[in-house]
Amino acid sequence: MVKLTLLLAFVGLAAAAPFKLNNGFPNPSPSALAEIQKEAGGTLPNTPLPTSLKADAIQSLQVIAVNEIFETAYFSSLLHNVTNNVHGYTDFDGLSRDYVIKSLKQIRAQEELHAIGANAILASAGAKTIGSCNYMFPVTDFKSAITLAATFTDLVLGTLQNVNKGFALDGGQAAEGLVPLLDSIIAQEGEQDGAYRLIQRKVPSAAPFLTSSAGQFAFNAVDQLFIVPNSCSQSSNVSAIGIPAYKTLTLSTSSEKPCSTKDTTLTFKTSESDVNGKHIAYISGQNKPVVVPVQSVNGKTFKASFPFTKGFSKGLTVAALVNSAGPFSNAADVANATVAGPGLIEVD
Ligand SMILES: *[C@@H]1O[C@H](CO)[C@@H](O)[C@H](O)[C@H]1NC(C)=O
Ligand SMILES: *[C@@H]1O[C@H](CO)[C@@H](O)[C@H](O)[C@H]1NC(C)=O
């Protein structure tokens, strides 16, 4: 009896420990790669890779690699939890457990190939490839894990739009070699996202035009939410990417729920101590960012209006605490003025 209790306590501890990828990923052996491709339902592209890329394109691919490696860890952990009947991971709201396991295996392998593909392009262009860190996941049940997966996938879908714009305009090899590839990944992540929304009983497609984002927001989201602090080794090259670290920006849980039918006021928390006089910029759909002043500042807590009916899109809105009243023409412009963020707000 005593033994059993001890064992259970140990299992509990082990499950809560930071998640570490240790199967050779993201540098699998040739036979492991063949297995991943089989599981993923397709192979890495066999068309020629760029041999040289501009600095911005390299930075974008490094951010993509950071994100895809994190996603691999996330879906590995989720698959582990479902496969091992971990508490909270046994109710799939009507989906069969076999179907969930089969889907998670395939999705994990697909994310692995996205990450391996990004690193292969970086290597081909003579740039630093990205390694894994240790990860933590702020969820302990299947439904919340899927809701969170939908949120970070929304952020990726927005970020890749901007990456593609950079690739198309930089005058180098990225337009020809990488834009169609990224388009295919955007659609692939969109397929995933529709399923995650369906599991939440949301309409599969959130809005006619999905919210844009920027590499800085994607990187900071993974760094703030999922990477165990100081767990990226020097050789992972994550700290060499050169994206500025923002302060955090989250919705205070006591705040009114963001709403699609009327304008509301939201309460935010930030790790930035100098909030007075700053603004919140919202990026929603393909519209010009909306900027509102912060109100009722109380240390690191403050309020800001959330004027959804002024042309916001359902699904993700990216919020940022910015040091200028704008106007901003796009997500990259907002990122350039951001002090804290991204705040990830999902409406319907
Ligand atoms: C898997 O379960 C552990 C233990 O409950 C939890 O800490 C972790 O966040 C879960 N992972 C995912 C991706 O849901
Ligand atoms: C970023 O913002 C600064 C002002 O804070 C401005 O001088 C600079 O031109 C901006 N850069 C870009 C790329 O928008």
CA angle centred on 328, ends 327 and 332, rounded to 5°: 165
Concatenating the DSSP letter of every residue in 241-298 gives: S-PPPPBPEEE-TTSPPP-SSS-EEEEEEES-S--TT-EEEEEETTSPPEEEE-EEEE
> Computed from CA positions of residues 104, 108, 113, 118, in that sequence, does the dihedral angle turn out positive or negative?
positive
pLDDT at 328: 98
pLDDT at 12: 39
**C-beta of 78 in contact with ligand 1 (< 6 A):** yes
pLDDT at 16: 55
Structural contact between residues 200 and 143, judged by C-beta atoms closer than 8 angstroms: yes
Query: Which of 279, 336, 339 maximizes ligand 2 atoms within 8 Å of its Cβ, making it the mutation to test the pocket?
Result: 336
**C-beta of 82 in contact with ligand 1 (< 6 A):** no
Residue whose structure tokens are 């990477």: 227
Which residues of the chain have a pLDDT value below 50? 1-15
Q: Please name which ligand lies nearest the alpha carbon of 136.
A: 1
For ligand 1, the distance from its centroid to the CA atom of residue 131, given in whole angstroms, is 22
Query: Which of 79, 80, 81 maximizes ligand 1 atoms within 8 Å of its Cβ, making it the mutation to test the pocket?
Result: 81
Nearest CA to ligand 1 atom 13: 78
Residue whose structure tokens are 């420990």: 17
Helices 174-199 and 97-124, axial angle in degrees (round to 10): 160
pLDDT at 1: 35
The Cα 266–Cα 71 span in angstroms is 29
pLDDT at 9: 36
Residue whose structure tokens are 């509102």: 292
Name every residue whose Cβ is closer than 8 Å to that of residue 226 and which is 6 or more positions away in sequence.
Answer: 70, 73, 74, 135, 136, 137
The Cα 201–Cα 250 span in angstroms is 25
Helical H segments across 125-276, by residue range: 142-169, 174-199, 215-225
Task: State how far Cα 294 lies from the chain centre.
Answer: 26
Distances in Å between the Cα of 180 and the Cα atoms of 55, 185, 213 are 20, 9, 19
pTM of the full predicted structure?
0.93
